[in-house]
Amino acid sequence: MAAAIECGADTNTSENTMSLKKALSAASPLTLRIVAECPVTKARACDLILPHSAVSTPVFMPVGTQGTLKGITVDQLEGLGCQICLGNTYHLGMRPGPDLIEKASGLHGFMNWKRNLLTDSGGFQMVSLVELSEVTEEGVKFKSPYDGKEILLTPEKSISIQNSLGSDIMMQLDDVVSSTVTGPRVEEAMHRSIRWLDRCIAANKNPDKQNLFAIIQGGLNAKLRKACLDEMTQRDVPGFAIGGLSGGEEKDDFWRMVTLSTDHLPREKPRYLMGVGYAVDLVVCVALGCDMFDCVFPTRTARFGSALVPWGSLQVKHKQYAKDLQPIDPDCQCPTCKRHSRAYLHALFKSDTAAMHHITIHNIAYQLTLMRSVRQSIVEGRFPEFIRTFMKRMFPSRDQYPSWAVDALASVSVTLE
């Protein structure tokens, strides 16, 4: 187990180093059991044992930014079989604030969620709220989008908020730059993320209850990403995330950075690919060796009337569905598809926000069902066949397959017919 090492500016004190060693020596409240591995690709099916329940991977994690998923209740989310969802440290830290949530027995008690929670660190807001933020070695200075007040989010503050939230998985505060940025800023952010990881480890007051994941940075530069992997994997953290991607970069660059990362991440630790939620991306990146995914896409697209289906998407607000009495997907077993027709949802969408609610339920069900099917195919030793069937259903013809997906799958010995 490695102690803190120098990587650029030295911000470690002897006290921080001692705290770091103590935190690293604590037993992790996480167990990863590999159930099956695909003999062709890098895909695997695992049982991830966390403090509140087990999670079957590969897994898609819905995003509940402020302690709730927009358009769906906690009971409905549980009824869909969701085992883990996300909360946002930045927004929850701003309001209602960590003190109130801690009094409510953490975010689990506050939102009455009995299963697992993952909280992000607030680092992504460096990109999403870039006009309002300024990064220094100390942390990130934000202007609150709510009242304009200046806030300093340090690694220690991020972990303190996440300790109050009581999430099963916490993310380190990392220095996030857009995936389309190049030049010295990418290297600076990578080295700073390593230093901030050590500060996060030292600040964690609950290493026996909460799992802190490191986030691999390095942009689209293979040399920088490999350097970050080499450094961060020396820390015996419970899991690793692949960050700094899915932000508008070319897909050819995206998949190559994903597979580079999984090639060098430890087999015995969970691998979380951040911000990925399109169905094709999920299937391909499972093949490249990722276990966990999150994205706002299925809930956000639902609010525009777009329902996810095995052949892409179905726009229920379009006139062609005004008299269509079929469910969104005749093969789907979600509450929306069991009870409502395309025609009903089309009519409702024009006059009532309940339409968005029904489509949100369907879209979350689609994502969770897709990942359960992926896992089952891995366990049964037929994942490459699953991929081929999935792609044939998603795209009308072979020449419509995205070239990046064809190349990515070929890199793990899956050829598409």
Q: How crowded is the C-beta side of 176, counted as CA atoms within 13 Å?
A: 30
Tokens at 151, concatenated:
């806030």
Measured between alpha carbons, how far is 233 from 212 in angstroms, rounded to an integer?
13
Catalytically annotated residue among 168, 175, 291, 294: 294
Phi, psi (deg, nearest 5) at residue 137? -65, -30
**One-letter amino acid identity for 185?**
R
Report the candidate in 64, 71, 269 with the shortest Cα–Cα distance to residue 167.
64
DSSP designation for 49: E
Closest CA to 414 of 386, 393, 392: 386
**d(Cα 88, Cα 74) in Å, to the nearest integer?**
16
Is 120 noted as a catalytic residue in this protein? yes
What are the beta bridge partners of residue 153?
Answer: 140
d(CA 158, CA 204): 10
Name the token pair of 223: 């040399």
Q: Which residues of 292-331 are buried (b: 16+ CB within 10 A; e: fewer)?
A: bbbbbbbbbbbbebbbbbbeeebebbeeebeebeebbbee
Q: How many whole angstroms from its chain centre is CA 298?
A: 13
Phi, psi of 307 (to 5 degrees): -100, 135
Of 47, 120, 147, 324, which residue is the catalytic one? 120
Structure tokens belonging to residue 411: 């890199």
Q: Which helix (H) or strand (E) holds 150?
A: strand 150-153
Instruction: Look at the block and give the residue holding tokens 């090639």.
Output: 263
| CA atoms of 17 and 116, how far apart (whole Å) | 30
Please list the active-site residues. Answer: 120, 294
